[in-house]
Structure 1
């Protein structure tokens, strides 16, 4: 029998969000609520020891979390938290599996929960030899939450959990004396929990089975029920409205910015940046105001990202300068490159060491070799460009024929003149030149000069004759 398993409650609808999506599939800090909780739990147990209870739009939740490897338990009817654990019990029985000796129950909509706090709950549970351990918090205003009553102020043991609506007039009159709230996160001795679940009733206004009632059942049976307080109230609070969710989002993003600054990253105006919790940035990098770093973006050391740039799922090497307003989406940038301003690197763009991608240059599925430059107003799509290449202003790789995409290859040290169009499939061999204003449709040999212009014709006096005709027509 394993010592510990984890159950994550993720079956609810979240009606107060006024959203068509399941509550746990909303995102804060760049990651789904449920993913935050699962990632924290995975620091303590393997995915095989985790049960996620799903119900509302279960298929969507299952699909979103499929890559985590956790087990799913269907709560077809959402009849309360106690009923959710009854479904978990039935799932173990149906599978003929032996449940773990202890279960920790987490809420899928509490994204700020830390692995350290879950571990402290677990350690307290085992140290106190408890049948049930409740994670609590002490907010400034406990209104609306169930209160935890300890046997004495210094005791770890719990006398009762009292819901807000059940508080006495005397208790309501002295809220400062009763501020410890139930977070809805628990540890249980599994055998004792499963036995107590059979005794739950739904004789309440909602007709639901409440897990909080287990505390009263265990206390009446003489079992040990204890509590341990979390360090932070935000860590255990969920979100019932979009506004509350954005409060959590701000807290997560500020914590991410603080973590990066503590590791040597300079962030000007950290209240203005948007940095997902999954982002990594090296020391001595500078982030200017209004930068967005999203997804699995990785930035090296000694970089500078100027204002209004957005990087998503991109990798940036050391010493890179990203000027204002650049957009990087699933791109790779090697060390000491210079981007922008207003460059757009689309997926599968790879920019080589020391390369330059300048004003209003767009790349897509393109490789730009070390030291190569495309500084002005170009589109490079499905292109393999070697090292030391100069791409002039307004150069376009014509990669699409209306049905298929084709590749343009430009060899090392080549020079592509301004306003040239390279019609793929095409190969420009190393050390070649393409004259400005050319339309190139045939391969260019190494060391050659390619010209693809129409012949210029000058007609002397043509403008004067035109003006005379125009004057005559008006007469």
Structure 2
């Protein structure tokens, strides 16, 4: 929609009573991102340069979240909940400076896409004064029906008010609407509350616009992307639809998912072509995986970058700040946090590497840990390129191993190790002949005395 300005109003004041939660409804998450965050992202991608979010009273956490997602957004409070049109008018200061397109959406429809928002905007650009997004469904019960004549939307009829013939209509209201900027405020202000609940409903704008001789049309989205969320069950169902969408996208971009239904994505997971993901892998927020990498079964990744042709897992955990260079390996039961691996570096078994850098082609033996926390502060461990750390070693940070350093198995390293040096940090082995039998005999006698 080049050269057309856009103001979007997101209605997010609902308490979510049926969620049975103290958290505002739109702050519950799909794919690791709050519901309202998905809507804001779609609007940004659709070119909406002005976003206003209508919140309820005493929702500082929601306002904080909105400003984190979109620093230029504005929040407005709907003090009394008197219907959807009343909620939209809570953003009156924004409407006093209308854009070419004014969109009104709900904060609990996280699967709406930028492409669908774009269809609403295109209809406005083509001359419509009011656009309603609808969807076809085989189960229309409970939805408002979109009644059209000769390509014109003439009314939105709620289930309880519909005739038998109107109830056969399967084209239903999503609740998402677009107004031509020149008409938006006047149409919203014309909506009255002469109904049983005494509330102001956005849907009344359709008949008001028609009475004014304005052009009113409906465009189509899908039932899945326009679904709203009011209960935990609906939240779970929406999560399943979101995951199915992400899995399809991964497959379509050239990734291999060995068991797609067992792979869980976050809203911002990025997989390059030719990535292979095995069974039961979870991607938390902030993960990027480069081409040719293989994520093996039962691994969990969050806030991590995986380089080309890396192998992760099985049963590996990458925590925030893990950055793995090309062809590096993080194997079974290895945890990496806030650490970088150079090209070809390896930690194949049973290790914790935190607050560290591991140089290229270094090898970390099984059971090695970097002791990064002293109870008060975090410290870093630096392991130079081509180093070898033997199994069951403990590197007490801050400590540095030079390039080509060698740490003997079972060592506790507290001092720096210079380039190409070997470090031993363990007690000398002592063997006492016959001592094991003496100990067993003494313990057995003690046990027998108590029986």
Fold match by TM threshold 0.5? yes
| Residue equivalent to 1:265 | 255
Q: 1:4 aligns with which of 3, 6, 31?
A: 6
CA distance in 1 between counterparts of 2:421 and 2:387 reads 10
Aligned with 2:199 (options 176, 188, 208): 208
Q: Please name the residue that 1:403 is paired with.
A: none
Once residues 39 and 305 of structure 2 are traced to their aligned partners in structure 1, the CA distance between those partners, rounded to angstroms, is: 26
1:159 counterpart = 2:162:
no
The two structures, once aligned, show a CA RMSD in angstroms of 2.4
SS of corresponding position for 2:86: helix
**Aligned positions of 1:131-210 closer than 5 A:** 131-151=129-149, 155-172=150-167, 175=168, 178-210=169-201
How far is 1:81 from its partner?
0.9
Matched-pair contact (CA < 8 Å) for 2:5–2:48: no
Residue 226 (str. 1) matches residue 217 (str. 2): yes
Distance in 2 (CA, whole Å) between partners of 1:194 and 1:134 is 16
Deviations along 1:86-114, one digit per CA (max 9) or x if unpaired, are: 22224555xxxx32233111211111111
Q: Cα offset for 1:30?
A: 2.6
Change (3 A) 1:421 1:166: same
Q: TM-score, normalised by structure 1?
A: 0.86
> What is aligned with 2:17?
15
Deviates more, 1:237-246 or 1:316-325: 237-246
Query: How many angstroms does 1:190 deviate by?
Result: 3.1
1:398 alignment counterpart: 396
Give the match's secondary structure for 1:256.
helix
CA distance in 1, matches of 2:123, 2:445: 101
- Seen in structure 2, the aligned counterparts of structure 1 residues 460 and 356 have a Cα distance that, compared at 3 Å, is closer
| Alpha-carbon shift at residue 83 of structure 1 (Å) | 0.6
Distance 1:186 1:341 in 2: 51
Corresponding residue to 2:303 among 307, 313, 316 = 313
Q: Which runs of 5+ in 2 are unaligned?
A: 373-379
In the alignment, the residues of structure 2 paired with residue 51 and residue 192 of structure 1 have an alpha-carbon distance, to the nearest angstrom, of 18
Give the secondary structure class of the aligned counterpart of 2:104. strand
- The aligned counterpart of 1:39 is 41
Give per-residue Cα distances to partners, 1:65-98, cap 9 Å, x unaligned: 21212122221222211112222224555xxxx3
- Separation in structure 2 between the aligned mates of residue 215 and residue 430 of structure 1, nearest angstrom: 77
SS of equivalent residue, structure 2 residue 243: helix
Report the Cα distance in structure 2 between the residues aligned to 1:27 and 1:464, rounded to whole angstroms.
61
Shift in alpha-carbon separation, 1:457–1:103, aligned structure 2, 3 A = closer
Q: By how many angstroms is 1:344 displaced?
A: 0.6
Q: Post-superposition shift, 1:384?
A: 0.4
Cα deviation digits, residues 392-445 of structure 1 (max 9, x gap): 11111234xxxxxxx11111111111111123xx2111111122xx25xxxxxx
Work out which of the residue numbers 370, 388, 396 in structure 1 matches 2:386. 388
Give the direction of change, closer, same or farther, for the CA distance of 1:203–1:429 in structure 2 (3 Å limit).
Answer: same
Contact 1:193/1:214, CA 8 A, preserved across alignment: no
The alpha-carbon distance between structure 1 residues 83 and 338, as it changes in their structure 2 partners (threshold 3 A), is: same
Distance 1:31 1:470, change over 3 A: closer
Q: Give the distance between the partners of 1:267 and 1:44, measured in 2 at CA.
A: 30
Taking the aligned partners of 1:468 and 1:136, their CA distance within structure 2 comes to 83
Contact kept in structure 1, 2:365 and 2:392, CA below 8 Å: no
Q: 2:411 aligned with 1:410, yes or no?
A: no
Would the aligned equivalents of 1:22 and 1:57 in 2 still touch at CA under 8 Å? no
Distance 1:472 1:122 in 2: 88
Aligned to 1:420: 411
Where does residue 288 of structure 1 map in the other structure? 278
Task: Tell whether the 8 Å contact from 2:328 to 2:341 is kept in structure 1 after alignment.
Answer: yes
* Contact 1:362–1:378 (8 Å) recurs in 2: yes
Which of 266, 274, 287 is the matching residue for 2:264? Answer: 274
Aligned to 1:113: 112
Structure 1 residue 88 corresponds to structure 2 residue 91: yes
Matches of 1:78 and 1:471, distance apart in 2: 77
Instruction: Indicate the SS of the match to 1:257.
Output: helix
For 1:309 and 1:411, locate their aligned partners in 2 and report how far apart those are by CA, in whole Å: 31
Structure 2 matches for 1:244-255, cutoff 5 A? Answer: 244-255=234-245
Secondary structure of 2:91's aligned partner: helix
Residue 377 (structure 2) aligns with: none
Tell me which moved more, 140-149 or 212-221.
Answer: 212-221
Between 407-416 and 277-286, the greater mean CA deviation after superposition: 277-286
2:291 paired residue number: 301
Unmatched runs of 5 consecutive residues or more in structure 1: 400-406, 440-452
CA contact (8 A) 1:73 1:91 kept: no
CA contact (8 A) 1:12 1:56 kept: no
Cα drift, residue 165 of structure 1: 1.2
TM-score, scaled relative to structure 2: 0.90
Cross-structure match for 2:418: 429
Q: When the two structures are aligned, how many residues end up with a matched partner?
A: 435
